[in-house]
Copies of this chain bind each other. A is one copy, B any other.
Amino acid sequence: MISETVTRYRAYLEKRRAYVHAMGLLGYDMNTVMPKGAGPIVGDTFGVLSEAMYDMVTSPEVEAMQREILAQRDEVDPAIVRTAELAMEERGRIACIPKEEYVQYTVDQTIADRVWHEAKIKSDFQMFLPHLEKLIAAKKRFAKYYRPDASVYATLLDEYEKGLNTETLDRFFTTVRERLVPVIAKIQSQPDVSFLHRHYPIAEQRIFSDYLMDVLGLDKNHCAIGETEHPFTTEFTKYDVRITTHYHENAVEASMYSVIHEGGHATYERNIGDEIARLPIGKGVSMSVHEGQSRFFENIIGRSEPFIEAIFPKMQEIFPEQLKDVDAHRFYVAVNKAEPSLIRTEADELTYSLHVMVRYELEKRLFDGDLEPKDLPAAWNRMYKDYLGVDVPDDRRGVLQDSHWASGLFGYFPSYALGSAYGAQLIKRMEQEIDVWDNVRNANLKPVVDWLTEHIYRFGCMKEPGKLMEEAFGAPFDPTYYTDYLTKKYSELYHLD
């Protein structure tokens, strides 16, 4: 009886959810509260739980249930069918890896992450190198187990964004480079942004964060905010989402845009359909779509003039001294200052994609070319000079700046650029259907969130990411929306011809 199988499968999925929850929480804790000296223990705990996950995901009994559900898909809840479909793909990627290698990788990854934190502080790439090499070697092996004949990097890309490949990305980055580099080159004089770097006490910045969460419509009963060195978002279900930020006393915009960025991720998760919330498909569908949401709120909404006009009175209330001689327009201009720089997470919208392009090119060469991990710093520094025209003074502000590789996230970076481009095409579509800007100008983001929920959020992983976005756009993806959006915005901001 298929209904009996579905009941058993749902029980299995609930068990799986619990393990994912526990492992997710261990990861969250490791990056927030855990005292650093506890690192080795948590790695071993990860090892044990990941072994249990491996056994679950690859068990013949679970496979049989999934095959039965897929064979009789017409009689089964589509959410369960979709779950089984994606689970078979996941099974394919995992079951080909020998269990010991899979478990060892989980442990190695927590070690690499810990070492990276220290190496970054010390700006010591050599310290991190052996751990990075280990992760890269494992990722290469795993990709080959799964798809012996495919390019390794294509296999990695596909994991974060199904169907994504280097042809698409090469075309995308070529468009971006050809159209944006000339705009960047035209920028001559810069606005005065010194007021952003006055003293903004952390206690007041916390109040400001709470206000921003309110504006985004994030309910504290289901979304916590914490503080970490590197801001991130995690969720265990849509009912338990956590964002973090980092306060800099002399840079009010840093935490402000971290909160809006992570808040964008959280908004996506919080608006997944309740009916799929506990299933593995009850989460954001891909990294590009996810970064698309975070960067949409951060930049397209959060760095728009109407949004700044909406929140600026509250900002002046919280920071009366610091902002007494500033108006909303000056603030808007300041938070959009565009200038080639060293740090991706601090980069402006215009030059951002060039930071991603550096990582994309390096990853391609690391996995499918002849670049050795040991040669990364030199290659990194050279590309920053070539693409952004800046000299990298040390590895802390260079190749060690991002946490992704230390967490084994290779092939993830392109999501940021692609996500940014998604946002530009989305806003065009949205503007045709709802009154975006009058609402934003009144600090009312609800129509925007509702539109995104209707077209994207509620589906979770029910659709393939490419198809989901195409349906939301009402057209195929076209990166020129992105380059047009940036060209127009920065031509106005900098009065370019």
Contact = CB atoms under 8 A, between A and B. Distances in A.
B220 A15 contact: no
A33 B242 contact: yes
A495 interface: no
B38 A240 contact: yes
A45 B22 contact: yes
A51 B37 CA distance: 30
B44 A219 contact: no
A435 B35 CA distance: 33
B35 A221 contact: yes
Nearest to A239: B38
Main secondary structure of the interface of A (DSSP, over half): helix
Interface in A65-90: none
B237 A35 contact: no
A48 B15 contact: yes
Contact of A21 (B14, B41, B203, B220): B41
Given A17-B45, A21-B45, A32-B33, 5 more contacts: A14-B44, A17-B44, A33-B226, A35-B240, A203-B203
A409 interface: no
Interface in A4-62: 14-15, 17-19, 21-23, 25-26, 29, 32-38, 40-42, 44-45, 47-49, 52
Contacts of A45: 17-18, 21-22
Given A26-B25, A48-B15, A35 B236 contact: no
B203 A37 contact: no
A295 B226 CA distance: 32
Interface string A270-282: 0000000010000
Contacts of A203: 203
B226 A35 contact: no
